[in-house]
Amino acid sequence: MNILIIYDSKTGNTKKMADEVAKGAKEIDKINVSVKRASETTNEDLLEADGIIVGSPTYYGQMSAPIKAIFDKSVSIHGKLSGKVGAAFTSSGGIASGAETTIISILEAMLVHGMIIQGRAHAEHYGAAAVGAPNERASERCRELGKTTAELVTKLTH
Q: Give the Cα separation of 157 and 6 in Å (integer).
A: 21
User: Which domain does 92 fall in, by range?
Assistant: 2-157
Residue 95 confidence (pLDDT): 86
Q: What's the domain count of the chain?
A: 1
Residue 127: the pLDDT is: 97
Q: What is the pLDDT of residues 11-28, one digit of tens each?
A: 999 999 999 999 999 999
User: How many residues comprise the chain?
Assistant: 158
- Regions in the chain scoring below 70 on pLDDT: none
Any idea what DSSP says for residue 37?
Answer: E
pLDDT of residue 123: 87
The answer for residues whose C-beta is within 8 angstroms of residue 115's C-beta and 6 or more apart is: 52, 81, 82, 83, 84, 85, 86
CATH number, domain containing residue 107? 3.40.50.360
